[in-house]
Structure 1
Amino acid sequence: MFVGGTGQISLPCVRCAVEAGHRVFVFNRGQRGEPLPEGAERILGDTNDAEAYARLGQQDWDVVAQFLARTTDLLERDIQTFSGRTRQYVFISSASVYRKTPFQYLVTEDMTVGNPYWPYSQAKIASEKMMKGAADLPWTNVRPSHTVRIGLPTMMNEGDSVALRMLAGKPVIVAGDGTSLWTLTRSEDFAKPFVGLFGNPAAIGEDFHITSDVGFTWDAIYSTIGRALGVETEIVHVPSDVLVRYNSDWKGPLFGDKTLTTLFDNTKIKRVAGDFYCETDLDVVLAEPIRFLKQRLGAKGAVDTQFDVLTDRIVADMAMLAT
């Protein structure tokens, strides 16, 4: 049973689980446009509806995969709902929980956990701790890094605003000098080893990250996006500590995640769930995000003018400094 099941990462996992022969249930509000694969059964409900959610605990599950919990509130409810009712509870955490340093760029699961910069990561850390302390809840903890399918990968989580600036012929900002390496993993590549953890005795009570084995520079990522849109990408490099002085909300995504080179050692997940392949051609990795972007551009959604004005100001300040 997937809590979620139609999101950026979860929908390919649902498809993979069906293809692997699992009987799959999906609990969500049924508001996403993409259809579930044939064979998956929807349980219509909202995580904010405590009564509807409690009914999930009235039967036994082989696996519960929790994709929606961003805070400890839902994790606490899951403990109440699923303790003693599932053979395996799989929590989707985040690779941003690791305490990254410039001296250890290859991440392993035994690295210290702790992110002093980002409330999102801190909530995931607190949820992990709560889950691991629960009685009668056999858990598996999964930490995806930057997994792509629907949204564009951007440094400060600016979304489509980066592409809109490119299309308008405006410069875009990359933190640092653009050469730090960042790991991008397609959701469909994540799905196979993820489903390989289901019902796997070696996965109980263990942490795993699931990512590609290679990284790309941020300059390459932004240039590839521009090329896919048919435009030249003009990049302005700005130090991360300068950027967070313009917008303190960027401290989490930058200091807490993307400023440093981040690569992952996937030895553990491959040993437990089997070997797997992740796409390494950046044009192919970004093909689905670009396809979804073009759909959104065709729908003419709202433009984040506040971000655009701030970016123009930063670019102008950097140009003044350079001269």
Structure 2
Amino acid sequence: MATKVLFVGGTGQISLPCVAEAVEAGHEVTLFNRGKSDVALPPGVSVIAGDMKDPASYRQLGEQQWDVVCQFMVFTPEQMAQDIAVFTGRVGQYVFISSASVYEKPARHYVITEQTPAINPFWKYSQDKIACETMLQASTGLPWTIVRPSHTVRTGLPTMMGPADTTVQRLLDGKPIIVAGDGATPWTLTRSADFAVPFVRLFAHPDALGEIFHITSDRGYSWDAIHTAIAAGLGVQAQIVHVPTDTLVRFNPEWEGPLRGDKSWSALFDNTKIKSVVGEFECAEVLETVLEEPLAHLRRRMAAGLKVDAGFDQLIGQIAAAQSALGQ
């Protein structure tokens, strides 16, 4: 008997390869989303058009029995409360996609495990994910698994400061780009297709219930190496200006969350726990291979004309000039 799997979302950066992997594994897959994406879905996938913001239509999902529900679209405690109400007693396994950004900043140890505390005083996004995890763990009657992806790539380029396409345009124009800190901080990148394999193996797995897992590559890269490889993929050289995180946040307080709450810190992960449950899995480790798919998507966007954020472009130029002037 096929496992009935519901994806809330299912066409996004991480979820689309997971849908394909679930179909490949023989699961009966249904997606619930607004139906506005034009991405091609694997044959046999059913789609229920709807919106989480419409409580009446969303409650109808709870009128069906699901073996597994994969929730990619919950970001706030209010949304988690709705899911607990809708799915309790109707689901064999509720898989909540959280974020590795919830881990303690700064971490007490340079290698992150699931035992690393979930404490992020800098970023509301991460704080809301922590609150969602806490609510789910306190619930009754909803068997749960929490999965924490780190920086997972498919369509978007992994630049340190976004929007990424504006950074790309600066590279193409021979303008300097900014990396926070000294550029040597190690950062883990995982392809979405590599994430999908162990993720789907968690479906209906008894040892996954009531457990938290992160799923990442075992390899980290410096931020300078990442940006240099992106530039090389574009056929240009990167002019990197290093700027302290504190300085960047003074220029733009909105960067405090993404930088102090995430990308300024080392992010290396121990995947022993997930491998002990689902077995070994492979992730691409050569940086150029990791960047192949996002660079291919970038080239398609370039053919249509990149959308540049003029305000971000101007601010990066201003900061880069100010930092460079210190050495003159």
TM score, norm. by length of structure 2: 0.97
Aligned to 1:245: 250
Aligned to 2:3: none
- Pick the aligned partner of 2:127 from 122, 131, 135: 122
- Pick the aligned partner of 1:86 from 85, 91, 109: 91
Identity %: 56
Gaps of 5+ in 2: 1-5
Aligned to 1:28: 33
Aligned-pair CA distance for 1:295:
1.5
Matches of 1:211 and 1:100, distance apart in 2: 18
Amino acid corresponding to residue 191 of structure 1 in structure 2: A
- Pick the aligned partner of 2:282 from 270, 277, 285: 277
- Conserved in 2, the CA contact under 8 Å of 1:29 and 1:44? yes
Matches of 1:62 and 1:160, distance apart in 2: 39
Amino acid corresponding to residue 27 of structure 1 in structure 2: F
Aligned-pair CA distance for 1:178:
0.7
- Pick the aligned partner of 2:183 from 161, 168, 178: 178
Aligned-pair CA distance for 1:88:
0.3
Matches of 2:200 and 2:325, distance apart in 1: 52
Matches of 2:303 and 2:128, distance apart in 1: 35
Aligned to 2:80: 75
For the pair 1:156 / 2:161, whether they are aligned, the reply is: yes
Aligned-pair CA distance for 1:165:
0.5
Aligned-pair CA distance for 1:293:
1.3
Aligned-pair CA distance for 1:158:
2.5
Aligned to 2:170: 165
- Pick the aligned partner of 1:12 from 3, 17, 28: 17
For the pair 1:191 / 2:231, whether they are aligned, the reply is: no
Amino acid corresponding to residue 316 of structure 2 in structure 1: T
Regions of 4+ moved over 4 Å: none
Matches of 1:241 and 1:158, distance apart in 2: 20
Aligned-pair CA distance for 1:103:
4.4
Matches of 1:113 and 1:73, distance apart in 2: 19
For the pair 1:55 / 2:60, whether they are aligned, the reply is: yes
Amino acid corresponding to residue 190 of structure 2 in structure 1: T
TM score, norm. by length of structure 1: 0.98
Gaps of 5+ in 1: none
- Conserved in 2, the CA contact under 8 Å of 1:157 and 1:253? no
Aligned-pair CA distance for 1:147:
0.3
Matches of 1:101 and 1:214, distance apart in 2: 20
- Pick the aligned partner of 2:114 from 87, 109, 113: 109
User: In the TM superposition, what are the counterparts of 1:220-235 in structure 2 within 5 Å?
Assistant: 220-235=225-240
- Conserved in 2, the CA contact under 8 Å of 1:105 and 1:260? no
Amino acid corresponding to residue 261 of structure 1 in structure 2: S
